[in-house]
Amino acid sequence: MPASGTRRTSIRHVCAVAAALALTAGGTASAAASPAASADLREVMFVGNNWEGTADVIKSSGDFAKIGRINVIPDKDERMAEINANPIKWVYFMAIRNSVGEGHDQFVDDMYSTPDGKSMVVSRPSFADVVSIDLATGDINWRFPVSGYRSDHMAVSPDGTRVAVSASTANTVHVLDVNTGKQVGSFATGDKPHENIFTSDGKYIWNMSIGDVNTALDDTWLDWTKGDRKITVVDATTFKQVKVIDMRERLDAIGLSDYSDAVRPAAFSPDETKLYFQVSFFNGFFEYDVATDKITRTKELPKNPATSTDRTTWVNDSRHHGISMKPDGTKLCVAGTMDDYAVVVDRATFKEGPLVTASKPYWATVSGDGKSCVVSESGSDQVTAIDFATGKKTVSVPVGDHPQRVRLAHVPTGWTGPTS
């Protein structure tokens, strides 16, 4: 969760990204646990260029200038040889390319740095794996093939020692040791696990399953065909299920039976009493009260009149995909993916600020200094910073082909890229 006076770290901060701010920033860290306390490390942002197979490393605030680039598929020839030799793997590889990949291979979905800043851990959907890449050499430290045929969103534990990754075709989440790549546990989910969030105390993992988002059965009355979509909450030590939340029941209870219950990106409030989440096909988000187990508020955001009303044209059932929270909990930032804008929303009043034009913004996170929302513009290959105070754009920085996930991280001071 967002820090309160203490300094954030790459793992704590990134963890708050995954833990409480649903992939934004925040996280309280003790001095002992803080890699940022070392002069040997520098806070940065990783930007995953999904279609290109690279990750750009940029400054975490200020002008967000580019620092270096990492090739996340140095073993591409080896992986492709394996896929071409296995007919089933080849079929799934091509299915990913032609469906969720929009005609492109998906080489980097999510990434984090290790606490010592020496390695990047990255999920690679088309290769159905997670790898650790040495930031000094660019070499692969370890590789973990996930169950099934596609890896997806990840989350890092608050202490930085474990990473949870969704195996989307196997309805499973693997939890791995970040240093060795060994599995320490796993748990079953609903259909097509997607987002993962560690709670800030590290005790629980929340997983959101989104169901079948690549079918053309997008009419409201066909929503039941999308599969078993639910939030699965597990104990992060035993990996035993402690709670299942079916948003279908909660949406029906407030008269929104026509809305999808596929929970997409989400962000916790700093005290983790509220969850703000997006669902398929909806231009807005919901507020969920954890204690009462009810949806308490709904925020519908403006529709872009230029956006097609044909829901089959919306990428992977998205309308809006990406939500983050200012570390003090006062503002939300929303990526209006199919409506081509991003916007800051006041959390207390739900009043939105100016719409900031953006080309298919795919993700929203928080800058290292907590002052800006940073969105990835997958349609124009850049990341854009929006000032939380004014709601206005401050800067855009060019990156690689189809940026998606953006995460706070740390690299060694003076690092400008792998040597090889």
User: Does 22 or 66 have the greater pLDDT score?
Assistant: 66
Q: How many CA atoms lie within 13 A of 195 on its CB side?
A: 30
Region 99-124: mean pLDDT is 96
Query: Is the pLDDT confidence value at 18 over 70?
Result: no
Q: What is the chain's alpha carbon radius of gyration, rounded to the nearest angstrom?
A: 19
List beta partners, residue 266. Answer: 277
48 vs 52: CA distance, rounded Å: 9
In this prediction, what percent of the chain has a pLDDT beyond 70?
A: 91
- pLDDT, residue 38, reads 63
263 vs 135: CA distance, rounded Å: 34
Query: Is the pLDDT confidence value at 283 over 90?
Result: yes
- pLDDT, residue 117, reads 96
Q: State the average pLDDT for the chain.
A: 91
User: Residues 151, 129: contact at Cβ < 8 Å?
Assistant: yes
Extract the tokens encoding 274: 């509220």
318 vs 321: CA distance, rounded Å: 6
Region 94-121: mean pLDDT is 95
What are the distances in angstroms from CA 239 to CA 183, 189, 205, 235? 12, 11, 8, 5
| pLDDT 10s digits, 171-217 | 999 999 999 999 999 999 999 999 999 999 999 999 999 999 988 89
Residue 6 pLDDT level (bands cut at 50, 70, 90) = very low
- pLDDT, residue 420, reads 66
| pLDDT 10s digits, 315-331 | 999 999 999 999 999 99
Query: Is the pLDDT confidence value at 232 over 90?
Result: yes
Which domains, from first to last, does the chain contain? 10-412 (2.130.10.10)
What are the distances in angstroms from CA 403 to CA 87, 110, 287, 326, 361? 30, 11, 28, 22, 9
Sort strands 140-145 and 372-377 into parallel, antiparallel or unpaired: unpaired
Residue 141 pLDDT level (bands cut at 50, 70, 90) = very high
Of the candidates 231, 242, 247, the one whose C-alpha atom is nearest the C-alpha of residue 295 is 247
Residue 24 pLDDT level (bands cut at 50, 70, 90) = very low
Give the number of other Cβ atoms within 10 Å of residue 92's Cβ. Answer: 18
